[in-house]
Structure 1
């Protein structure tokens, strides 16, 4: 899995056509610090980012999901790499939103 984090000054353009699944949500960051970590990561080692204090909007965009599932037994294969891009920007609270929903391939 490849994860990238982008702290932006404003809402990014919609490029959801380049991804399989895209969701957005708001969260409050009173400290101005964002910690990004996986479920098995250790908090002290987690990546930290400075963000404007207050309400923040986040967009999580994922791609290569079908290939990652097909190659599940070999996460070393480059074609098996799921890509996740996290983008954050200051914005007032708004409800979570599914921008693009991944659909399971038929077969």
Structure 2
């Protein structure tokens, strides 16, 4: 397993995971359903929705197999798929300078992507501060349509 903990600027309440060769344009993918599930998909890219339009903490895990399905510590969990044909996964905010974005070497293939969000109800009144956290896990697996496994219900 490879892991990375970092903060990323979630401009427009989102950040991207994408194959290095993908254009990363998720503009048309953020429809009503994608916004509700906090997860948008297009060819070679996945958009991860966030509760804040600020720097947010992210944990990225590249796994050998599917993780546990125990979602008790998370507010919202969703899965989908990402094709990485180049062997390079790029993680970036949507307004980041692409050449400077984080890159991770992976085996080319189709990956299952699970977003597990926590602390979504901890935001300050102005939405600038909070204890929200985004765990993003990837493992090689067959493709699936984006599916919400646990829906967040705001308090």
Q: 1:91 to 1:69 in 2, by over 3 A?
A: farther
Deviation of 1:99 (Å): 0.8
1:37 and 2:92 correspond: yes
Q: Which has the larger radius of gyration?
A: 1
Higher helix share: 1
Whole-angstrom CA distance in 2 between matches of 1:27 and 1:43 = 18
How many residue pairs align between the two structures? Answer: 100
Unpaired runs of at least 5, structure 2:
1-55
TM-score, normalised with respect to structure 2:
0.60
Deviation track 1:32-72 (CA, whole Å, cap 9, x = no partner) reads 11111112222112111122211111001111011125462
- Runs (4+) of structure 1 exceeding 4 A deviation are none
Higher strand share: 2
The answer for the alignment partner of 2:119 in structure 1 is 64
- Higher RCO, Cα 8 Å, sep 6+: 1
Whole-angstrom CA distance in 2 between matches of 1:63 and 1:48 = 24
The answer for the alignment partner of 1:85 in structure 2 is 135
More deviation, 85-94/37-46: 37-46
Whole-angstrom CA distance in 2 between matches of 1:43 and 1:23 = 26
CA RMSD of aligned residues (A): 1.4
Unpaired runs of at least 5, structure 1:
none
TM-score, normalised with respect to structure 1:
0.85
Whole-angstrom CA distance in 2 between matches of 1:69 and 1:22 = 22
